[in-house]
Structures are given as C-alpha cells and as structure tokens.
Amino acid sequence: MVDNTRKAYWKSLAQRDDGTIPLPVAGSEFQEVPESGGRGLTRRDFLAAAGFTFGSVALTGCNRAPVERAIPYLIQPEAIIPGRATYYASTCGACSAGCGMLVKNRDGRAIKLEGNPDHPDSRGGLCAVGQASVLGPYDSKRLQAPLLKSASAKWDAVDGEIVARLEAIRRDGGTVRFLSGPVTSPTMSRMIDSFLGTFADARHVTYETLSMSAIHRAHERTHGARVLPRYAFDKAEVIVGFDADFLGTWVSPVSFAAGWSAGRNADAPRFSYHVQFEGRMSVTGAKADRRIRIAPGELGLAMTHLASMLAHRAGAPFDSGSPAACPIDAHLLEELADRLWHARGKCLVACGSQDVDEQVLCNFINHLLGSYGATIDVQHPASPVENRYHNDDAVQDLLRELASGTVDALFIHGVNPVYDLPNGADLAQTLPKVETVVSFSDRVDETSRHATYNCPDHHYLESWGDADAGDGTIAFRQPTMLPLFDTRSVLESLSIWSGRKQAAQAIVRETWASRGLKPAARRGATHGTLPSTMVLQWCAPTRSASARSDRSRSSPFEPHSPCRMASSRSYSIRKPPCSTGAARPTRGCMRCPIQYRRLFGTITPAFRSRRLRSLVWPPATSSASTPATPRASSYPFSFNRVSTIRSSPSRSVTAGRRALASPTSVLNGSSEDRSWATTAWWERTPHRY
Amino acid sequence: MADKGIRNVTAVLLIGAVFSVATLAARLGAFHLPGNNQGYSPEQPIAFSHRLHAGELLIDCRYCHYGAETSRHAGIPASSVCMNCHTFVTDTLGSLRAEDERAKEEERKPNRMVSSELQKLYGALALDDEMKPTPDGVPAPIEWIQVHNLPDFVYFNHSAHVTANVACERCHGAVETMERVSQVEDLSMGWCVNCHRDVNRVGLAGRSVNASLDCGACHY
Ligand code: SF4
C-alpha cells in the first residue's frame, strides 16, 4: 500500500510500471523557461544568432600557416645530411665504470646514447644513469662561462688570477689539495699528478658518494691489499646479495648485469639461484629468486648467523660470540647455507655495506665457500688506476686540514662534498676561509657556490678523454658534439696552470704515446694493443686524401676536432628484427621483447617447470659430486681474529645497528679499525690462490 | 519597451553581419581550410628561379636537394653548393653579353657584372664582388622561407619516396616552370592516402609497390 501523502519513489522497474507510484511527467522534467520573460528574442536565440554572425569573422583567420624558415648551412660539412643521424663510439662518463657507448648525433646534437656491443666489459649495456646522462649537456642550470668570485668572467682573466696565485704558492711552498671523485681516466690521473707535482706539498684526495671504501679496507685486513676485487657473476651458481644492488648501482652494474644474465640463460644447462637481502626495494631485489626484507641494521646479524652456519659445515673455527637471535626465519637461512655449501666454489656473496666488519664477514663467507679464485678475483683487481681506491679517511683528513686553515689552494672536480659528505655542513663553514678554491663543477652547487674560481669542465659528451673500465679495457672518449657553452676541458685547464698549454686531444694522445701506443696510422685501423691493456678505439686523424671518398665516416667537427667514429663498420646502426616495430631496438632496450628475452631468457612452459623445480630445496636428486671442503690450514686469515671482534661487547655483530644509529660510525670506527689492523697478522701469512 | 530592445539587437546583428561579410570577402580568395597551404608562394630572400635552373639549365633536382635520396629531408642547399657555379657565373647571360657589347663599342675592358640577387649570396658568405672576403663581414646563412611544410604530427620521408621512384613533380608540381616556387598540391592526408591507394593498384614506374595505408606509417 503506497502512502499518497508522502513523496514515493519506485524501487524496482515492475513497481515503476504498475502505476501505483505517480511518476513525474516526462516532458515537464527539463522545461524550457524563456529567460527574457517576454515574447520574441530569448537570450539563447541571441547568442545563437550572434555566434553565426560574429563567428564567421573567425573564419578569416583560416588563412596561412605561420611562416617557417629553412636555414641551410653556409658551408656544407661533409657527412652531415639534415635528418640523418651520425653515430660516434665513445665512453660513458656518468660514473666510474666507464661503459662503452654509441652516441646518436643529429644536426650536431647528441640525442641518444646506447651501449656499444663491442666494448668487452659492458658488452652493449648502458645503465639508466648512463642513458639519462644525454640530458646533461642541455641542462639549463649549467654554467655557461667561467665565474670569477661568482661573477661571470673571461677565461683569460680567470687564468691570469689563478696562475698568479699558484705562482705565489709555488714560491712559498704552500699546500695544494685536489679533491675529486674516483679517477678512472689514465690521462686525467696523469694530468693531476703532473699538475700537483709542481707544488712542494700537494695531495690528491678521492672519494665517491657510493663509496667502496669498506670493501677496500676489508680486503686490506683479510688479504693485505687495498683492492676492489673483480666479481664474475656469470660463473656463480648461487648468488647472495647483502644490500648490494649490483644490477642497479653497485660498483659496475652494467657489466655485472651482463654477467648475471649470462648465468641465467634459459637455454643453458644451469640457472643461477639468487637471494637478495635488502631493506629497500632495488632492481636487484626485484630480480632475485628470493628477496628477503631485512632492516639495514640487521644485515650484520644475518651475515654472522650465515657465517656461523657455513663455518659449522666447513668445520672451521668461528666464534660468533652470542649474537642476538637471527632476524629472519632460521630455516630460510639454513636452506641458503645448504645451497651455498652444495655449490661451493661456484658461489658469490656480495655485500654493499659501508661497515668494514660486515665486509670482513662477507670476505670470510666467500672464503669458506671457496669463491676467491673462482668467482672473485683479487689477483687482478678491478682497476690498475691507483685513484680508483677512494679513501673515506683521506677525505676526513682533508676536512681537518681545511678547518685548521693550512690549505692554500683547493681544487674540486666532479664531486659536491658539501652535499655528499655526512659532515658537509662543516665544510661549507670552512670553505670560504680557504684562500683559493677552484671548482670544475658544471653548475653552481652547494660546494662550488663557495669557490673563488668556477672553471666549468665540458660535459663528457663534449670532451676528449679515456677511461679504464676496470677489467683492463681502456676506452677512449671523443667529443660527440661541439661544446655548447664557453666551458673548457679540465685537462686543458690543468695544462695551462702547469705552464704548458695543450689541447685536450693532444694531452690524451701524449698519455698513450708515452705508453707506446701510436695513433692508428691507417684509416680503419681502430684497435691497437698495449702490453697489458686492450685499446678499444683510437681516433685516427681524418684530414687524409681519402676523406672525400669516405664521406659517411668523417666527423662533422673536422675543423675543431679531427676525429671520426672509430669504426663505422661495427658501430653503424644495428637493426635486429624487432617485433615492437617502434623505436630501434638496442641491446639496452627493455621494452623490446627480443632484447628482454636475450637478457632474461624465454619463459616457456618446460622452462618454467624446470625453473620451479630448481627453486625447491633440497633438490629431488642429490648433487652427484660435491666439491671438496677447503682445508682449514689454507685459510688466509685467522678466524679467531674475526671472532674476537665479533664477540667483543662493543664491536658485536650489531655493528650494523650502530651504523643505523650514527651515519658517521664508519668514519668514527676508523681509528679503532686501524689500531686493530696494525697487528698486521696477514703480512705473515702468504696468500695464494 | 521589449520591441525597442529587439530592434536594437537586430540592428547590432545586422551591422555585425555586414562587417563580417566585408572582412571575409576581402579574404575569400585566400581562404583555405586550416592546414591547407595550396598555392602558397612566398617571396624568398633571393629571387631564385627554378625555371632557369631546373627548366632551362636542366640541373637535376638532387644536385641541390642532395638529401632527397638518403634522408627524410630533401634539404635546402648550403651556400657553398651555390658557389660551385656562382663563383664564376656572377650575372645573367643577357647582362654579361650586353656589357661585352658595350665594352666593345666603347673600346674598353668589360666591367665585372654582378647581379643584385647574387650579391645577396656573396653577402651571406661575407664576400665582395671580387670573391674576396670582406674585412669586417660576418657570414650569416640565408633564411629561405619554407614552402612545403607538413604539420609536426606527421612523419614524411623523402628518401622512401624518391628511392621508390616517385617523381619529384608528382608532389611538387612542375617546379621547372616556376619562377617562384608555389605549393601545387594541398598535401592533405586524403591526398597522400589516395596516391598510396592508386600506386598500390596500378604500380609505380612499371613496378608493383606496397605503399602503406597504416595510420602508424606516418603518425607515430
Ligand atoms: S655504469 Fe656504465 S652506463 Fe651506467 S653510468 Fe656508469 S659508466 Fe655509464
């Protein structure tokens, strides 16, 4: 029964149609109310009429597209055809790994970077940072000219003042410091050394934001040498990463990614098993077979537990003290220890921690597993370039020196310590007190703001240079575009201030000529060999008689920098069949299924089931041959040493927790570490693998 | 009251209509749908004659528009390309002859003749009439006005068409008869697609072709 006195609403279509509820009259729902109120023209009618009348005026605008100009060259450069890209082989300078790359240049501008498949270390990969670095030259924040006391100046004026100042320092035997990131370029290294060599008291200090210092120092303790070992991820069957983002940012991500993916080939008989312990999601964790979330402070604890499990299996003495309970499921860790133990000699444990104790523990685990000599190479460490071994202690020493006011001139290249360092704010206080601060930074940043002279370096895409990729590959860097602004290569700046002005290209050539490498005399000869290194590319002079017949190969920048693409045969556009059809696929292209498959394998049902089976532990069939346990006597260092540290109350395994509590604990701990290290027990122990 | 209002409004509208018709009428000859530049024939900084160069002297299009076969752009020749000939040819044949005759009559050596248009070319390269660099001259490229201009949302590749034997005049008209180049076709999408359909049916230069009709072939 419907109550007619109140407004009723229908609740179903049947109810709506049976007529019991009065529905509003359809037509009257949206009633047109004349707005003018009277007869004749309503507001809407007026607008409609006016629209037609005046709107037609707008049609007169439909006339011509705006005038476009086509401005050709005055003098046609060879090899440049508008609309066609030129490719140059060069070397990535966005981090110290020195990956090879191909630079796509159109109309004189670098527009795209891709990995160079012929580079033996990076093997055609280019990481996200490298890819993004093509935007660097076009950054609107770049300094467009040198600054003299924060005011834009001419190079002559800046040079004049700096040279006069340096002369005074040379005369008075003053102190000069050169602060830089890790220098992987042999030429840069040589130039810094020869520049600093002109002063009585000069030192080169390096540090890196993503510091590897803890790894160096851990190896100094365990192996007696400050080295950054080489890691062979392709040879490892079980990979454990403790906060080491080796596919994303750790040490040399591109070459590690290539090695890692080579060990995870769907067609190969084996497929590595990868466990990642980390506190934040990284690319590496996302790619791992098992990702174990763990607080950064508990990393050391988990490693201690893993180490003691492995030491137990190896029958090696390891006194872990009485560490706190394992922060993760002990079964998981037991299973991992089992897997590692089964695959010993084919394991790789990587640790990205900044804590030396944790790195020592990592070395210990790797040693138990026989990784040294198998997947980790300390005999041929990552780079022969001395300055790659950046040293956090030396930076702190430098800061103390600066604070005490004993430094006369400070040169800062490629780093922003005020921003990067934990005690950068103190540095910001002391920098204005240093009499001469020269910054090579490409912008006014937190550090270079305090510089007396800003001498902006070229972007690496505009410079001559070289880089040591870390595996003995020396790769050269050539300008892929003309410098956009009034910047100057740091090599040239240093040569001028040393009193021997040279062009950057000549400086690079001189480095290699002095090591016995001559520029290729013949066009097309692009590879030369040095006694212990491989030379990837060498730019031959182009102004030869055959230049005209070789149009496509010569550089657009002949007058400025006679260089050319090292070998257009191998570096020309590679076009693998690409089913996406869109952008040109390259080996770094993750969007392209072909490339993706090459890196990560095809997922077929058979493969998937094999893969799933391999993830089950223990395996259905026990491994036929278990490698021999390393003999305790062959251990290069004493476990009791390690255990002493581990068990002492102040330096318990919760070292990681300390690190969490105070970001400078690594630095604070340094003096303790060194006093401990001065026992020099390793010097008595021969290390042979 | 209301009647007066309506009268006023009608008057305003009438005036508006007359005004807009007047404006439109003047422009009616140049009226085009947006984007259609058919008939566009801008005055160029130098009165370069395609009729003379391509028509009379029979210079191949690709001598100057050297990118047509290899690049997406046909390319506007650099001034250095002009100078290949105009280092020596400094004026029209007619005026050179006339000067010769006059010199013969007046029994003197003929003066060097440089046409006013070519002077602009030499000026761009900062050269004087004797082809010597002017001491304080600054070379500045010539800013030609682009005649055929496609919108940015469409990709066109000259080399794909030229290497498939599409004749230049099929899109650009009889350039060799034009004193000043004008756009002959409307370069609209319908025009492109019609041609692609036609050549797929009847072939091109005696060969069957497969001109794409995909949206993505030009718009991506
Ligand atoms: S890892 Fe290689 S590609 Fe990535 S930034 Fe460093 S040098 Fe460049």
* pLDDT tens track for A195-222: 999 898 888 988 877 777 788 888 888 8
Interchain CB contact of B30 with A (< 8 Å): yes
Q: How far does the CA of residue B204 sit from the closest CA of chain A (Å)?
A: 26
The torsion defined by the Cα of A548, A550, A555 and A557, in degrees rounded to 10, comes to 0
pLDDT-derived band at A660, boundaries 50, 70, 90: very low
Cβ-based neighbours of A196, under 8 Å, separated by 6 or more: A176, A178, A202, A203, A204
Binding site membership of A94 for ligand 1 (Cβ less than 6 Å): yes
Chain A residues with CB inside 8 Å of B79's CB? Answer: 72-75
Q: Are A438 and A412 in contact (CB under 8 A)?
A: yes
Q: What is the pLDDT of residues B20-37, one digit of tens each?
A: 777 777 666 666 676 778
Binding site membership of A126 for ligand 1 (Cβ less than 6 Å): yes
B67: nearest CB among A53, A68, A82: A82
| Whether residue A204 is found in the same domain as residue A222 | no
Is the CB of B70 less than 8 angstroms away from the CB of A63? no
Q: A466 pairs with which residues across the strands?
A: A476
Structure confidence at residue A630 (pLDDT): 45
Structure confidence at residue A64 (pLDDT): 64
- Look at residue A534 and tell me whether its pLDDT is greater than 80: no
Q: Which of A18-32, A527-541, A590-604, B112-126 has the lowest mean pLDDT?
A: A527-541
- Pairing state between β A238-242 and A347-351: parallel
Q: What is the pLDDT of residues A68-116, one digit of tens each?
A: 888 888 888 777 788 888 888 888 888 877 888 888 888 888 999 988 8
Please check whether residue A50 lies inside any domain of the structure. Answer: no
Name the strand (E) or helix (H) holding A554. Answer: none
| Whether residue A422 is found in the same domain as residue A356 | no
Tokens matching residue A99: 């990956």
Rounded CA separation B60/A246 (Å): 58
pLDDT-derived band at A440, boundaries 50, 70, 90: very high
| Whether residue A598 is found in the same domain as residue A628 | yes
| Whether residue A326 is found in the same domain as residue A249 | yes
Helix (H/G/I), strand (E/B), else coil: A342 = helix
Q: Which residue has its alpha carbon closest to ligand 1 atom 8?
A: A130
Q: Are A309 and A286 in contact (CB under 8 A)?
A: no
Centre of ligand 1 to C-alpha A394, Å, is 25
| Whether residue A171 is found in the same domain as residue A222 | no
Chain B residues with CB inside 8 Å of A65's CB? Answer: 35, 37, 149
Choosing from A123, A127, A183, A249 the residue with most ligand 1 atoms within 8 A of its CB, the one to mutate for a pocket test is: A127
Q: Are A166 and A497 in contact (CB under 8 A)?
A: yes
Interchain CB contact of A74 with B (< 8 Å): yes
Domain end: A610, A630, A645, which one?
A: A645
Tokens matching residue A591: 């969007």
Cβ-based neighbours of A435, under 8 Å, separated by 6 or more: A165, A408, A409, A452
CATH of the domain at A316: 3.40.228.10
Helix (H/G/I), strand (E/B), else coil: A449 = helix
- Look at residue A529 and tell me whether its pLDDT is greater than 70: no
Please check whether residue A540 lies inside any domain of the structure. Answer: no
Domain end: A434, A454, A474, which one?
A: A454
Please check whether residue A280 lies inside any domain of the structure. Answer: yes
Q: What is the pLDDT of residues A233-260, one digit of tens each?
A: 988 999 999 999 999 888 888 888 888 9
Torsion sign across C-alpha atoms A457, A463, A467, A469: positive
Rounded CA separation B58/B56 (Å): 6
Choosing from A91, A92, A135 the residue with most ligand 1 atoms within 8 A of its CB, the one to mutate for a pocket test is: A92
Q: Are A469 and A566 in contact (CB under 8 A)?
A: no
If you average pLDDT over residues B168-193, what whole number do you get? 91
- Look at residue A525 and tell me whether its pLDDT is greater than 80: no
Give the best-scoring range by mean pLDDT among A451-455, A588-592, A635-639: A451-455
Rounded CA separation A83/A341 (Å): 58
Q: Are A146 and A171 in contact (CB under 8 A)?
A: no
Interchain CB contact of B75 with A (< 8 Å): yes
- Pairing state between β A453-454 and A147-148: antiparallel
Structure confidence at residue B31 (pLDDT): 64
Structure confidence at residue A206 (pLDDT): 85
Structure confidence at residue A460 (pLDDT): 92
Q: Are A9 and A21 in contact (CB under 8 A)?
A: yes
| Whether residue A206 is found in the same domain as residue A218 | no
Chain A residues with CB inside 8 Å of B40's CB? Answer: 64
Structure confidence at residue A594 (pLDDT): 39
A57: nearest CB among B23, B80, B144: B23
Place of tokens 């009608």: B10
Rounded CA separation A295/A313 (Å): 27
Q: What is the pLDDT of residues A604-635, one digit of tens each?
A: 666 667 666 666 766 665 444 444 444 443 34
- Look at residue A470 and tell me whether its pLDDT is greater than 70: no
Structure confidence at residue A583 (pLDDT): 38
Rounded CA separation A361/A376 (Å): 15
Q: B144 pairs with which residues across the strands?
A: A70
Percent pLDDT > 70 in chain A is 67
Interchain CB contact of B28 with A (< 8 Å): no
| A41: closest chain B residue by CA | B6
pTM more than 0.80? no
Interchain CB contact of A66 with B (< 8 Å): no
Please check whether residue A191 lies inside any domain of the structure. Answer: yes
Structure confidence at residue B51 (pLDDT): 93
Q: Are A194 and A514 in contact (CB under 8 A)?
A: no
Q: In this predicted model, which residue has the larger pLDDT, A348 or A661?
A: A348
Centre of ligand 1 to C-alpha A469, Å, is 10
Interchain CB contact of A686 with B (< 8 Å): no
Structure confidence at residue A111 (pLDDT): 92
Is the CB of B144 less than 8 angstroms away from the CB of A82? no
Q: In this predicted model, which residue has the larger pLDDT, A264 or A348?
A: A348
Rounded CA separation A363/A242 (Å): 12
Please check whether residue A73 lies inside any domain of the structure. Answer: no
Structure confidence at residue A341 (pLDDT): 92
How far is C-alpha B163 from the chain's CA centre?
22
Binding site membership of A349 for ligand 1 (Cβ less than 6 Å): no
B24 class by beta-carbon count within 10 Å (0-12 exposed, 13-18 middle, 19+ buried): middle
Binding site membership of A97 for ligand 1 (Cβ less than 6 Å): yes
Please check whether residue A242 lies inside any domain of the structure. Answer: yes
Q: In this predicted model, which residue has the larger pLDDT, A564 or A95?
A: A95
Q: How far does the CA of residue B199 sit from the closest CA of chain A (Å)?
A: 24
- Look at residue A124 and tell me whether its pLDDT is greater than 90: no
Those of residues 112-151 in B touching chain A at CB distance below 8 A are 124-125, 139-146, 149
Rounded CA separation A139/A134 (Å): 10
If you average pLDDT over residues A567-572, what whole number do you get? 27
| Whether residue A338 is found in the same domain as residue A270 | yes
If you average pLDDT over residues A51-61, what whole number do you get? 72
Rounded CA separation A599/A89 (Å): 23
What is the 8-class DSSP label of residue B53?
I
Interchain CB contact of A58 with B (< 8 Å): no
| Whether residue A202 is found in the same domain as residue A284 | no
pLDDT-derived band at B66, boundaries 50, 70, 90: confident
Percent pLDDT > 90 in chain A is 19
| A52: closest chain B residue by CA | B17
Please check whether residue A42 lies inside any domain of the structure. Answer: no
Structure confidence at residue A55 (pLDDT): 75
Ligand 1 atom with minimal separation from the A95 CA: 6
Is the CB of B9 less than 8 angstroms away from the CB of A41? yes
Q: What is the pLDDT of residues B94-127, one digit of tens each?
A: 888 888 889 888 888 888 888 888 989 998 988 8
Structure confidence at residue A142 (pLDDT): 92
Q: Share the mean pLDDT of chain A.
A: 72
Please check whether residue A31 lies inside any domain of the structure. Answer: no
Centre of ligand 1 to C-alpha A98, Å, is 6
Rounded CA separation A494/A487 (Å): 14
Which structural domain, as residue segments, surrounds residue A286? 213-382+594-645
- Look at residue B192 and tell me whether its pLDDT is greater than 90: yes
If you average pLDDT over residues A16-32, what whole number do you get? 72
Tokens matching residue A520: 């290729």
List the one residue out of A631, A637, A648, A630 whose CA is nearest residue A680: A637
Binding site membership of A99 for ligand 1 (Cβ less than 6 Å): yes
Tokens matching residue A37: 């109120």
Domain count, chain A: 2
Interchain CB contact of A46 with B (< 8 Å): yes
Helix (H/G/I), strand (E/B), else coil: B199 = helix
Long-range contacts of residues A612-619, Cβ cutoff 8 Å, at least 24 apart? A614/A271, A614/A273, A615/A273, A615/A289, A617/A335, A617/A338, A617/A339, A618/A338
Cβ-based neighbours of A596, under 8 Å, separated by 6 or more: A590
If you average pLDDT over residues B56-78, what whole number do you get? 89
Centre of ligand 1 to C-alpha A115, Å, is 9
Q: What is the pLDDT of residues A288-318, one digit of tens each?
A: 988 999 988 888 888 988 988 998 888 887 7
Domain end: A431, A454, A477, which one?
A: A454
| Whether residue A249 is found in the same domain as residue A238 | yes
Instruction: Please count the residues of chain A.
Output: 689
| Whether residue A170 is found in the same domain as residue A221 | no
**Residue A58 corresponds to which amino acid?**
A
| Whether residue A240 is found in the same domain as residue A289 | yes
Structure confidence at residue B44 (pLDDT): 92
Interchain CB contact of A71 with B (< 8 Å): yes
- Look at residue A17 and tell me whether its pLDDT is greater than 80: yes
**Residue B97 corresponds to which amino acid?**
R
Binding site membership of A92 for ligand 1 (Cβ less than 6 Å): yes
Chain B residues with CB inside 8 Å of A70's CB? Answer: 76, 143-146
- Look at residue A489 and tell me whether its pLDDT is greater than 60: yes
| Whether residue A218 is found in the same domain as residue A323 | yes
CATH of the domain at A202: 3.40.50.740
Give the best-scoring range by mean pLDDT among A269-278, A435-444, A555-564: A435-444
Q: A104 pairs with which residues across the strands?
A: A87, A112
Structure confidence at residue A676 (pLDDT): 30
pLDDT-derived band at A337, boundaries 50, 70, 90: very high
Those of residues 432-461 in A touching chain B at CB distance below 8 A are none
Structure confidence at residue A689 (pLDDT): 29
